Structure 1
C-alpha cells in the first residue's frame, strides 16, 4: 500500500471519528433543548426562533447519523440486527421524540398502523424515520401521519404529510446507488440513499427491502415508504 493511499484511509477514519463526536455533542444539545422547552414551556413552547433552533439541530444530528452509516457501509461494517417488534408501539414511541417540536410548530400528528409485528433493525429504522419525519416537518402544512401495513408479504412503514408533495424528479421506487448523489447541485438525497441502503440490508430469501416515494396517500401530499420483507 502506497503512503498516499494509507494517508487517505487514515484521513477517512479521522473524519469518521470527528463526525461521531459531533453527533454525540448534538445529541447532548438536543437533550438540553428538550429540558429547556419543558422548563420554560410558556415562553419557549411556541417561540419561532427556539423551534427553528430545535429543528435545525435535529436535522444536523440526522445528517451525521446518516454519514456515519454510509461510512460503515463503505467499510462493509454496516449490518442489520433483526428483531421482532410490535409496530404500533414502535411508531408511537418513535413519534413521542418529535412531539414537543411538532406541538411547538403547531403541526398535528397521527399514527395509523395495523396491529402487526415486524422484523427489522430498530436502530437503523429509527435513523430512517428521524430523517423522514424531519423532512416532512419542513414541507407539511398542518399534519404528519405515520402508517404501517402488510402488503404482498412486506411490512410497509410510511410517513405522509399534507404538503405539496415530492417533485416528479424525486418520485422513485426501488434502491438508490451512490452515483445518484448529486453533490454539485447541493441536493444530495443523502437521506434517501441512507434509507435505501438500510432497506437493502433487510432481506428474506430472494426478496430485498426497498423504498418508494410518491404523492397522494390519505393526506394528498408526499408519501415516503420503506418496504421490508
Structure 2
C-alpha cells in the first residue's frame, strides 16, 4: 500500500458503504411493494407485519439518504440545483414513494395544493425532506395525514400534519439544534431535523433563507411541521 492509500479517509469508505446499503434497501422496498400488490394482507396480523416491514425499510432508507447528503454538504460536494417546479408534483412523488407504507398502515393522506402552484427549489433535496417527514408521521399518526402547500407572505409553505400525539416539548423548544436529543415521540437522533434544517438553509433569496417550524394542535389535532422556502 502506498502513502496515498494509507491516507484513505475512512469517512469516504463509510459513505460508499452507505450508498450501497441505500441501493439495496431501494430494491427491498420495490420488492415489498410488488409483494403487497400481488398478495394483499389477508388478516390483521399480516397487515401489521407489512406495516412494520414498510416503515422500517422506509425509515432506514431515508436516514441513509440524509447521511449521504450531510456528508456531501460537509465536503462541499452538494450544491442546490434550483429550478422551477410544480409543488404538487414534488408532493405526489413522495406519496408514490411511500404508497406501500401508507397502504400497510391504512393511513389516509389528504393533499391540499393548487395544481398550478409552482416555485423555485431543488426538487431532490426538498423531496427528501418531505419524504422524511411523511415516513415519521406514518409511524406516529393514528390514521390520517395532511399535506398542504400554499403561498404565505412571499414564501412557499409546505405543512405536513397528522392526527398523532404531537411533538415532544424538546423538539418544539429547539428544532434546529444539532445536539438536541429529540424524537418524534420518544427519544431518537436529531438526524431528520438536522437534514431538513441544512437543506432549507441552502435555499435562499437575497437575505432570506428557508426555515422550518414545529407546532402541536394542528389541523388534524396532532403535530404539524411547516417548511418555508423564500
Q: TM-score, normalised by structure 1?
A: 0.89
Q: CA deviation at 1:171?
A: 1.1
1:15-164 matched pairs, under 5 angstroms = 15-43=14-42, 47-114=47-114, 115-164=116-165
Aligned mates of 1:60, 1:85 — CA distance in 2? 27
What RMSD over aligned residues (CA atoms) do the two structures have, in Å?
2.3
SS at match of 1:70: helix
Residue equivalent to 2:207: 206
Structure 1 residue matching 2:216: 3-state secondary structure: strand
How far has the Cα of 1:136 moved from its partner?
0.3
- Cα distance, 1:215 vs. partner? 1.1
Point out where structure 1 has 5 or more consecutive residues left out of the alignment: none
**Aligned mates of 1:65, 1:53 — CA distance in 2:** 18
Which residue pairs with 1:189 in the alignment? 190
State the distance in 1 between where 2:43 and 2:23 align: 24
Query: What are the superposed Cα offsets for residues 164-221 of structure 1, whole Å, 9 maximum, x if unpaired?
Result: 1011110158x7353x2549x9632100000000000100011000111111221121
SS of alignment partner, residue 47 of structure 1: helix
For residues 49 and 182 of structure 1, what CA distance do their matches in structure 2 show?
Answer: 29
Q: Deviations over 1:117-152 (max 9, x none)?
A: 111111111111111001101111110011101112
Instruction: State whether residues 199 and 209 of structure 1, in contact with CA within 8 Å, keep that contact through their aligned partners in structure 2.
Output: yes
Q: Any conservation in 2 of the 1:172–1:214 contact (CA below 8 Å)?
A: no
Structure 2: stretches of 5+ with no match in the other structure: none
How far apart are 1:99 and its partner, in Å? 2.5
* 1:161 and 1:221 in contact (8 A); partners too: yes
Structure 1 distance, partners of 2:42, 2:164, is 28
Q: Distance in 2 between matches of 1:59 and 1:199?
A: 20
Residue 42 (structure 1) shift: 4.8
C-alpha distance after superposition, 1:51-100 (max 9, x if no partner): 21111011000010000011111111122101111112322232122233
